[in-house]
Amino acid sequence: MQSPVVSVKQKIKVVYFTDPICSSCWGIEPQLRKLKLAYGDAIDIEYRMGGLLRDWSYNSGGISQPSDVASHWDEVSHHYDMPIDGDVWLEDPLHSSYPPSIAFKAAQLQSDSKAIDFLRKIREMVFLEKKNITKSEHLENAVKAVGLDVLQFQSDYKGVAKKLFEEDLKLGQTYRVRGFPTLFFIDSTGSNHIVYGSKPYESYVAELLKINPELKTNAYNTSWEFLFAKYYTLTAREYAELSQTDRNVSEATLDALVESGDLKKFSTKNGAIWQRIL
């Protein structure tokens, strides 16, 4: 399949098909965050919603009911070394991933960058805080948290955002997307270089270098102050990836910053996330 041609003078376009409740997408947050820091000047990541769970007619990979997701999430949390508490599927299960996907499209209408912050926020809500992000109160709290206008969000959510989500679904069919995450790196001829599923950071860099072998990495600041200014919350694995430190050292560093009053920690049964105290 061919895509719109991208000039070599333009940023490399990366089309990212994802879903708010995709645990593997949560698993590649460390890689994507590092990619943005190291190659942000050279790439343009376009977020598209894939529609993972329309309803519970879903049956794939041994998952056919909410309780199946609970155990699956606990397993993948350890696999990806990213905190996920699957008990939301036992305590307040989601009926679909479509409402938060439509909410993301509504957020995009106000700001692309804040929409990405919004997506991160609702993922933290469902993966760590066990909140059912199909509910309007949680979506609107996330809108407020990232600085978007709630009334505008409500209007767009009920209006044009659903159509935009449907366009994302149609685009996914055109790209023949079969699962998430799926990233298409588009070269100057319009050809796609596909990375499917969770892959090491180096795999994403390799695709960029195939398109532009002369691409240089940005020498970004790896201090905790810079990283938490760039990304408001970080898991231990994310901090290790971004700061280029040993995973165990990174967690000890983050805990020490909690002790010094610079960070606060939110713990789950399967790991933690740290947030800067402003």
Domain-by-domain residue ranges, the chain? 12-174, 224-276
Helix 236-243, helix 29-39: angle, nearest 10: 30
Produce one character per residue of 211-230: b if its CB has 16 or more CB atoms within 10 Å, e if not: beeebeeeeeeeebeebbee
What stretches in the chain show pLDDT beneath 50? 1-8
pTM attached to this predicted model: 0.95
Write out pLDDT tens, residues 203-215: 999 999 999 999 9
- At residue 23, the pLDDT reads 98
Integer angstrom CA distances of residue 253 from 13, 26, 34, 37, 277:
35, 23, 19, 21, 15
**Residue-level pLDDT at 278:** 85
What pLDDT, on the 0 to 100 scale, is given for residue 10? 78
> Nearest 5 degrees, angle CA 19-CA 21-CA 24?
80
The confidence score (pLDDT) of residue 3 equals 43
> 12-174 with 224-276: one CATH topology?
no
CATH topology of domain 12-174: Glutaredoxin (3.40.30)
Peptide bond into 200 cis (omega under 30): no
The whole-number pLDDT of residue 9 equals 57
Q: Report helix, strand or coil for 257.
A: helix
* Pairing assessment for the beta strands 263-268 and 192-196 based on DSSP bridges: unpaired
User: For domain 224-276, is the CATH number 1.10.10.10?
Assistant: yes
3-state helix, strand, coil in the chain (%, to 5): 50, 15, 35
Radius of gyration, CA atoms only, the chain: 18
Determine the pLDDT at residue 6: 40
Q: Are 124 and 233 in contact (CB under 8 A)?
A: yes
pLDDT at 214: 94
Q: Which residues pair with 45 in a beta bridge?
A: 14
- As a residue count, the chain comes to 278
List, in sequence order, every beta strand (DSSP E) within 154-278. 182-186, 192-196, 233-235, 263-268, 271-276
